[in-house]
Amino acid sequence: MNDRRLAFIYAPEIEGLSYPPDCPFKTERSTLTRRRLISFGWLGLPNRAEVAAHPATRAELGRLHSDRYLQELERATAGELTPEGLHMGLGGPDTPVFKDLLPYATWACGAALTAAERLLAGQVDVAFHLLGGFHHAMAERAAGFCYLNDVALACLRLAENGKRVLYLDVDAHHGDGVQAAFYRRRDVFTISLHESGHTLFPWGGFEDEIGEGDGLGFNANLSLPAGTYNEAFLDAFDRAVLPLLAAYAPDVIVLELGMDTLAGDPLTHLSLTNHAHEGVLERLLRRNVPLLVAGGGGYHVENTVRGWALAWQVCAGEQDEHDLSLGMGGVMLGSTEWAGGLRDHDRPVTPEQRRAVEPALRASVDAVIQNVFPHHGLPSAASASKPPAPDPGPA
């Protein structure tokens, strides 16, 4: 255990709220993660606190979302879907209308803002907010199970308090709603590593989307080809993200830690294990910068819960006495289940997989280096694409 102060932002009120039963998004993931942490004795200790969220107010939601859009969400929650609501994206296969729609989204936004407030007050070093991660929601449009953009609101709150914010999104889906919110700003630098828009919703997030106006060069996208595996992912992270992180020197990092990048997720096509998420967190924690960890995608519930519990373990510096796989080797159940610990089993990488992934990922990294690096005083020559030395963090 280290002396890093962690907060798990939670609202028991959400336990009675859910999406429709046939919707892939399951609200119980945060509750199940909380129970897992409690069962391990990792929550409710000094510096490992549970913090009650508050529901976001209408004024807080209005910092990003328009009043007419919020009115349509109210109507949809009451069972009324208007032509205007349809135009705003409501009522689609990935944006169902249901009675808990606005209550859950409001709690998720409030939890994100609670996390931001704790970081601003200097009360915690890492705040976990797993209720949301609704990075597809736009100012006046719903998409991809997202109605209100909690992570964008958290970034906005931090930026309005004078912080340089790095929003880092490692969800399998491109964080298009957050990108749109800050595309012309430089106080929130958005970086998204996601499955390529050629193969996955929302069909965008390409390397030439680098911001506009004052935000030119403060938006970066790295496309991951289907089948991307840990080694290739972390190499790309080291080459493309770490130099930008060091150059931008954020005051706070907001990390969307989606678990739909894991092999076996029913909606995506990547081949990561949660060792990749562990690697990302270890690299970020070396910076000793306040960190907000948000949820996001993850449609294999048990894999998602285990991945988030491992993320908490990494941030808390907890030992592996609860990772039974160390003692029993783990038991693989089918292709995606793993009984006996939080860490996933290793996945072999085939030569065919390497041939499919490495050239495409190398091209994506090189495009980020060429398009974004010069805006931050970093070299864009081919030599810049060589993996950097491990980032030791600030002196």
What pLDDT, on a 0 to 100 scale, did the predictor assign at position 177?
98
Contact 274, 315 (CB under 8 A): no
Contact 138, 182 (CB under 8 A): no
Smallest Cα–Cα separation from 26: which of 43, 36, 14?
14
- Asked if residue 209 is part of any domain, the answer here is yes
What are the structure tokens assigned to 393, written together? 């963090």
| Residue that has been written with the tokens 């913090």 in this structure | 51
Give the separation between CA 109 and CA 94, rounded to whole angstroms.
19
Q: How far is CA 124 from CA 11, 104, 119, 188, 316, in A?
A: 18, 25, 6, 21, 12
Alpha-carbon Rg for the chain, nearest whole angstrom, is 20
Q: How many CB atoms lie within 10 A of CB 10?
A: 24
- Asked if residue 65 is part of any domain, the answer here is yes
Contact 159, 190 (CB under 8 A): no
Q: How many domains are contained in the chain?
A: 1
Say whether pTM exceeds 0.95.
Answer: no
Give the separation between CA 73 and CA 56, rounded to whole angstroms.
14
Write the CATH number for 186: 3.40.800.20
Is there a catalytic annotation at residue 135? no
Residue 333 pLDDT exceeds 50 = no
- The percentage of the chain sitting over the pLDDT mark of 90, rounded to a whole number, equals 89
- Asked if residue 392 is part of any domain, the answer here is no
Residues 6+ apart with CB under 8 A from 78: none
Contact 287, 392 (CB under 8 A): no
Residue 327 pLDDT exceeds 50 = no
Mean of pLDDT values over 338-359: 89
- Asked if residue 196 is part of any domain, the answer here is yes
Q: Mind listing the pLDDT tens digit for each residue in 187-210?
A: 999 999 999 999 999 999 999 999
Give the separation between CA 74 and CA 348, rounded to whole angstroms.
48
DSSP code of residue 239: I
- Asked if residue 204 is part of any domain, the answer here is yes
Q: Mind listing the pLDDT tens digit for each residue in 278-292?
A: 999 999 999 999 999
What pLDDT, on a 0 to 100 scale, did the predictor assign at position 120?
98
What pLDDT, on a 0 to 100 scale, did the predictor assign at position 23?
97
Contact 176, 154 (CB under 8 A): no
Out of 65, 136, 174, 375, the active site residue is: 136
What pLDDT, on a 0 to 100 scale, did the predictor assign at position 282?
98
- Asked if residue 1 is part of any domain, the answer here is no
Is residue 383 very low, low, confident or very high in pLDDT (cuts 50, 70, 90)? very low
What pLDDT, on a 0 to 100 scale, did the predictor assign at position 1?
73
- Asked if residue 395 is part of any domain, the answer here is no
What pLDDT, on a 0 to 100 scale, did the predictor assign at position 348?
96
Structural domain span for residue 304: 6-385
Residue 341 pLDDT exceeds 90 = no
- Asked if residue 390 is part of any domain, the answer here is no
Give the separation between CA 343 and CA 365, rounded to whole angstroms.
28
